[in-house]
Amino acid sequence: MTVAPALSTELTAVTQEPAPPGWWRRIPAKAKAGVVLFGFFVLTAIIGPFVTPYDPSYQNPNPAASMNAPSAAHLLGTTQSGQDVLSQLLVGIRLTLELGLLVGLVATALSVIVGVTAAFLGGFWDELLSLLTNVFLVIPALPLLIVLLGYFPNKGEWPTIIVLALLGWPWGARVMRAQTLAIRNRDFVAASRETGERTWRIITFEIVPNEVSLIAASFVNTVLYAIGASVALAFIGVADLNSWSLGTMLYWAQSQQALQLGAWWWFVPPGLAVALIGTALVLLNTGIDELGNPRLRDASSVSRIAGRWLKPTNPTPVLSEISQRRSGFAGFLHSFSRSSLLDQAEAGEGR
């Protein structure tokens, strides 16, 4: 990142063109769309609760105020008990985003710790942590979340946040481990080891800064998981039903038969908000992917000359999983994973 801006100013100096708008221009279109969309929701979450037209929990006793279709007084209509849907939405977006971002932070931190530790310790501990990661990847999280949270009734949002974070780290840990293994043997790490830097310093100042883009991708993914899971949990009724989140809105809409009564304005806004936040995160993630792997860039990078699509040739070597010699118990543990296939392929070719 430090080299690129210097390069671009040099280019503009030579060609006498106006300076490009800098980093924003190099970001893939999908990531830009994601940033804008997600930024919109973050803004809504910050400002929303201050500009709600009504108290989201206020139940209008007047039967005429119940189940109103969208109108000037209630832009998104009202619920069965006369509550304003727009006010609920504005408050709900904040709670859902807060929860997603918090879980994302904690779970990503956990995944960095597990992944980097596994790669750095190597051998037996690496394989044990990888085994644990794979086990938690294959056990479906939602039923486990439901079982766990069933024992913490009405304790607010914190049990949900903690349990979601505790189950949200394996994907990230897997990626972090693979990347750390790849970086660990680079020259600059070897150099800092030679100069006598301590292991924790190498990890925090040499390794982790080089994994920032991966950590960002894993954070985005985890937020996506957290929002999806928390909305699903609330929809089932495993949440603090006295607070307004997108999930609890959907829960009340479903349990009070909004669909059967034809009140689409009750369940479409919260569901659409979840879907749009999710889309923003998916877009962000594909954008980050494309930054790292130029081959994935779409139509814009494919030039069409004389009616033929010209595909860019391989700009980057394909990163395959680093296979390393494993011995003893570590090798034994590793042989149970799916990725042991790759070792076998090499063993087969060698003979």
Partner 1 sequence: MSFIVRRLIFYVVAAWVALTINFFIPRLVPGNAVEAIMSKFPNLQPSAYRALEALLGVGRGGSIWHQYWSYLVDVSHLNFGTSVSEYPAQVSTLLGEALPWTITLVGTATVIAFLVGTALGIAAGWRYGGGLDRVLPGLMFLQAIPYFFFALILLELFAVKVHAFPIGQGYGQGLIPGWHWDFIGSAIYHSLLPALTIVLTSIAGWMLTMRNVMITTIGEDYVVAAQAKGLSNRRVVFTYAARNAILPQLQGFGLALGFVVQGALVMEIVFSYPGIGLLLVNAVTSNDYPLTQAIFLVITFAVLIANVIVDIIIVFVDPRTRVREATR
At CB < 8 A and 24+ separation, what contacts does 337-340 make? Answer: 337/130, 337/131, 337/134
CB of 38 vs partner 1, minimal distance in Å: 12
- Residue 163: φ, ψ to 5°: -65, -40
Structure tokens at 342: 């790759």
- Note whether 301 and 312 are within 8 A (CB): yes
- 94 or 297: CB nearest partner 1: 297
Pair of tokens at residue 145: 């979340």
Q: How far is the CB of 103 from partner 1 (least distance, A)?
A: 16
**Which residue, 155 or 198, has its beta carbon nearer to partner 1?**
155
Residue 307 as a binder of partner 1 (CB under 8 A): the answer is no
CA 118 to the chain's CA centroid: 22
276 binds partner 1 (CB under 8 A): yes
Question: Under rule CB under 8 A, which residues in 98-157 are in contact with partner 1?
Answer: 131, 134-135, 137-144, 146-148, 150-153
Looking at 51-59, 67-75, 196-204, 292-300, which segment touches partner 1 (CB under 8 A)?
Answer: 292-300
To partner 1, the closest distance from the beta carbon of 274 in angstroms equals 6
Q: In this complex, which beta carbon is closest to partner 1, that of residue 184 or of residue 297?
A: 297
User: How many of the chain's residues bind partner 1 (CB under 8 A)?
Assistant: 73
Q: Are 37 and 276 in contact (CB under 8 A)?
A: yes
* 254 scored as a contact of partner 1 (CB under 8 A): yes
* Interface with partner 1, residue 162, by CB under 8 A: no
Per rule CB under 8 A, is residue 209 in the interface with partner 1?
no
CB of 160 to partner 1, least distance (A): 14
Taking the least distance from each CB to partner 1, the nearer of 206 and 343 is 343
Region 210-239 residues binding partner 1, contact defined as CB under 8 A: 224, 228, 231-232, 235-238
285 to 103, 167, 217, 219, 297: CA distances (angstroms):
17, 21, 6, 9, 13
- Smallest gap from Cβ 247 to partner 1, in A, equals 9
Contact call for residues 111 and 198 (beta carbons, < 8 A): no
Residues 6+ apart with CB under 8 A from 100: 223, 224, 226, 227, 230, 277
